[in-house]
Amino acid sequence: MKKPDIYQRRRSQLMQHMQRGIAVIPTAAEALRNGDAHFPFRFDSHFHYLSGFDEPEAVLVLIAGDKPQSLLFCRDKDIEREIWDGFRYGPEQAAKLFGFDAAYSISLFDEKLVELMGNQPALHLPLGAQANWDDRILALRTRVQGQARSGITAPNEIHDVRMVLNEMRLIKDDAEKSVMRRASTISAGAHRRAMQATRPGKMEYEIEAELLHEFRRHGAQAPAYTSIVAGGGNACVLHYIHNNMQLKDGDLLLIDAGCELDGYASDITRTFPVNGKFSAAQKEVYEIVLAAQYAAIAAARPGNHWNVPHDEAMRVLVQGMIDLKVVNCTVDSVIESGDYKRFYMHRTGHWLGMDVHDVGNYKINNEWRDLIPGMALTAEPGLYIRPADNVPEALWNIGIRIEDDVIITESGCEVITHEAPKTVADIEYSMKS
Ligand code: GLY
Ligand code: MN
Ligand code: MN
């Protein structure tokens, strides 16, 4: 548990933005997997960003205005349930340890919220995030409206609280940056371990197991998303997660995997030869993707807008496609016609944070937004060459992506995933040792 002052500061900041009214932000629901088995519980990112509280069945309530208040609803202490499921803070301890003005039993939520909403001018909700919560809170608002003859008014404005929260989360503070650096270090170690464990004949899932082993042994709670371990042509399936095929001598292996540590995602892709040595054709394609990735990283700096890294990487990739003779004409005409999409069909990055595809708008007033210090994003160009008549056979089934995580600084960016080998020489060396 981090010190509560980080979360108190974030709550105050949000209440200042709200100016007036009441915000209600529930954590995520527990989800049944099948039978009596649940998916591992993962808190709601907004809720956790503001509270640091990681138990299920909890709701944060903030009241802005002259006397701002932050309140938590959570599960009661329950010795019987704690014997089965483990420790619960209970409202009293939770209020003290997490720095709330007060905390209440979640069993009192409906009654208490009706009381708290009375005479508040505005209601701030993560609208649409969890439909059942929207319905429940709006039904409680209707109950407040039913008290009109007693002179009580219900909030007559409803705002999506995520508009402000997304912007807050987009700029990472020092505490967030340090967790993200550590998550990156663990994930980079997992990629090194995967490189060292890979050899012809192994199954993709054996390599996935190496990644998971490395995540967990360093305390990461889970993968941030299902690991992609894609040998040979499987790398051309962008969201390949079957991970159940055998690795072949002479093929490449693409791994897109990152851990989640204390609520923060890392997201790394490396592509390397199953037998430890790039073939001439693989190396030729690899160097193009690597040059594109360096171009994206060089462009990830203040003074550029969001899309500059993508544009820069794209130009390098398209020139590479021309050199490989899989498209013809000029870079500009290939970009104009969209012909490159046969080999590069995704964008070069996304915001990164508590969610792997993190919150935050990419455009403001329909213009790409400027990059500023504290933003975290990925740089992940790739080339995916499926068998086709008009493509040289030596290139068939080569799928390469290289992905790093960066944080924008005053003068450029910090590549926080640099510990995962990336050049041809470093990868071949790492696989030999
Ligand atoms: N691993 C998800 C992504 O790269 O976007
Ligand atoms: Mn990514
Ligand atoms: Mn990825």
Which ligand is the nearest neighbour of the Cα of 420? 3
Assign 1 a pLDDT band (cuts: 50, 70, 90): low
Which pLDDT belongs to residue 355? 98
Residue 210 structure tokens: 């190496």
Our answer on whether the CB atom of 267 is closer than 6 Å to any ligand 1 atom is: yes
Separation in Å, CA 234 to CA 373, 388, 431: 37, 16, 21
Question: Residue 171: beta bridge partners?
Answer: 375
Which pLDDT belongs to residue 3? 81
Q: CA–CA separation, 379 vs 401, rounded Å?
A: 10
CA dihedral for 137, 139, 143, 144, sign (positive or negative): positive
Query: DSSP per residue over 42-98, as a string?
Result: ---HHHHHHH----SS-EEEEEESSS-EEEEEEPPP-HHHHHHH----HHHHHHHHH
Query: Which amino acid does the sequence have at 255?
Result: I
pLDDT at position 322 over 90: yes
Which domains are delineated in the chain?
4-168 (3.40.350.10), 171-432 (3.90.230.10)
Query: Which amino acid does the sequence have at 189?
Result: G
CA of 90 to the centre of ligand 1 (A): 37
Query: Which amino acid does the sequence have at 363?
Result: K
Our answer on whether the CB atom of 356 is closer than 6 Å to any ligand 1 atom is: yes
96: phi then psi, degrees, rounded to nearest 5? -70, -50
Q: Which residue has the tokens 């993190």?
A: 358
**Counting atoms of ligand 1 from 1, which one is nearest the CA of 378?**
4
Residue 368's CB: how many other CB atoms inside 10 A? 15
Residue nearest ligand 1's atom 3 by CA: 267
261: phi then psi, degrees, rounded to nearest 5? -120, 125
Q: Which residue has the tokens 């209970």?
A: 90
Q: CA–CA separation, 248 vs 100, rounded Å?
A: 56
Burial of 212 per CB tally in 10 Å (0-12, 13-18, 19+): middle
Assign 148 a pLDDT band (cuts: 50, 70, 90): very high
260 Cβ contact list (under 8 Å, min separation 6): 183, 220, 221, 222, 223, 224, 266
In this structure, are strands 21-26 and 363-364 parallel, antiparallel, or unpaired? unpaired
Which pLDDT belongs to residue 2? 66
Per-residue buried b or exposed e for 117-155, using 16+ beta carbons within 10 Å of the residue's own CB: bbebebbbbbbebbeebbebbeebbeebeebeeeeeebb
Provide mean pLDDT across the span 37-52. 98
**Counting atoms of ligand 1 from 1, which one is nearest the CA of 225?**
1
Q: CA–CA separation, 102 vs 235, rounded Å?
A: 52
Q: What is the pLDDT of residues 351-410, one digit of tens each?
A: 999 999 999 999 999 999 999 999 999 999 999 999 999 999 999 999 999 999 999 999
Our answer on whether the CB atom of 109 is closer than 6 Å to any ligand 1 atom is: no
| Catalytic residue set | 36, 239, 256, 267, 346, 350, 357, 380, 384, 401, 403
Which ligand is the nearest neighbour of the Cα of 349? 2
Q: What is the pLDDT of residues 207-230, one digit of tens each?
A: 999 999 999 999 999 999 999 999
Residue nearest ligand 1's atom 5 by CA: 357
**Counting atoms of ligand 1 from 1, which one is nearest the CA of 257?**
1
Provide mean pLDDT across the span 68-78. 98
389 Cβ contact list (under 8 Å, min separation 6): none
Which helix or strand (DSSP H or E) is residue 113 part of? helix 109-117
Q: Which residue has the tokens 């006397």?
A: 67
Our answer on whether the CB atom of 55 is closer than 6 Å to any ligand 1 atom is: no
240 Cβ contact list (under 8 Å, min separation 6): 228, 230, 234
Say what percent of the chain tops pLDDT 70.
100
Average pLDDT, the chain: 97
Mutate to test the pocket of ligand 1, among 191, 351, 358, 378 (most ligand atoms within 8 A of CB): 378
Residue 365 structure tokens: 């007033």
Q: Which residue has the tokens 């690597």?
A: 290
Report pTM.
Answer: 0.97
Q: Which residue has the tokens 């409680």?
A: 140
CA proximity to 73, closest of 45, 121, 46, 113: 113
Say what percent of the chain tops pLDDT 90.
99
CA of 150 to the centre of ligand 1 (A): 54
**Counting atoms of ligand 1 from 1, which one is nearest the CA of 403?**
4
Our answer on whether the CB atom of 355 is closer than 6 Å to any ligand 1 atom is: no
Q: CA–CA separation, 303 vs 398, rounded Å?
A: 35
CA dihedral for 51, 55, 56, 57, sign (positive or negative): negative
Mutate to test the pocket of ligand 1, among 256, 271, 351 (most ligand atoms within 8 A of CB): 256
Separation in Å, CA 379 to CA 207, 241, 383: 24, 21, 14
CA dihedral for 133, 163, 16, 91, sign (positive or negative): positive
CA proximity to 224, closest of 350, 35, 400: 350
Question: Residue 26: beta bridge partners?
Answer: 59
Which pLDDT belongs to residue 433? 81
125: phi then psi, degrees, rounded to nearest 5? -130, 155
SS3 content of the chain, % helix, strand, coil (to 5): 40, 20, 40
Assign 278 a pLDDT band (cuts: 50, 70, 90): very high
CA of 402 to the centre of ligand 3 (A): 9
Which pLDDT belongs to residue 49? 98
CA of 32 to the centre of ligand 2 (A): 28
Ranges assigned E (strand) in 110-220: 122-125, 157-160
CA proximity to 185, closest of 232, 221, 220, 228: 220
